Amino acid sequence: MIRLLIVGPPGSGKGTQAAAIADQYGVPAIATGDIFRSNIREGTDLGLRVKEVVAAGDYVPDELTNALVDERLHEDDALDGFLLDGYPRTIDQVTFLDELLARRGQDLEAVILLIVDTDEVVRRLQQRSSEQGRADDSETAIRHRQEVFMHETAAVIDHYRERGIVIEIDALGSVDDVAARISAGLASRGISPS
């Protein structure tokens, strides 16, 4: 099984590609947002803590995010492989994940970094906005989210680059073209579908 991380700015097609990778490689796609919502919905102790933090408009702290991810990665479907989406976002989370995997005798095999042109993302998201009537996709808001993403993830990406496991993927083009680039990038590291 494989252990992967997918990283990409809003509008890069990350969610679409994550689902395809999970299906193709037979691993669960694990998004922190989904974990948060699931725990809130189920009323777990951690979920209640997340709900309180989110209701106050704050970011979920690393300690709580780490606890939720730790719990999720101990579920049967994720013991031998997974694709993480949206985690880790900070160096403290990277350290936690490294230690968690080391206790299992495992490590991340690759980080898929989706690269997009900001102007193209603006165009793409504004088109989606007009099709779906989303008010949160103004050009200013989109560009701000791109800047926040780059600021938040730069250190994490640099950390994994130093380890030599980042695969940069041009995320512009059709869904199938991007998926083919991801498969080729993984294959170049000796990672193939199960």
| Under 8 Å between Cβ of 52 and 38 | no
The catalytic residue among 41, 104, 134, 189 is: 134
The catalytic residue among 49, 72, 89, 124 is: 89
Q: Which residues fall within 8 angstroms of residue 158, CB to CB, at 6 or more apart?
A: none
- 51 labelled catalytic: no
Cβ-count burial of 72 within 10 angstroms (0-12 exposed, 13-18 middle, 19+ buried)?
buried
Closest CA to 44 of 54, 34, 36: 36
Q: How many Cβ atoms are within 10 Å of 139's Cβ, its own excluded?
A: 13
The catalytic residue among 14, 72, 124, 181 is: 14
Helix (H, G, I), strand (E, B) or coil at 177: helix
The catalytic residue among 128, 161, 163, 189 is: 128
Q: Which residues fall within 8 angstroms of residue 17, CB to CB, at 6 or more apart?
A: 6, 8, 112, 114, 171, 175, 178, 179, 182
- 145 labelled catalytic: yes
- 41 labelled catalytic: no
The catalytic residue among 51, 123, 143, 145 is: 145
Mind telling me the catalytic residues?
14, 89, 128, 134, 145
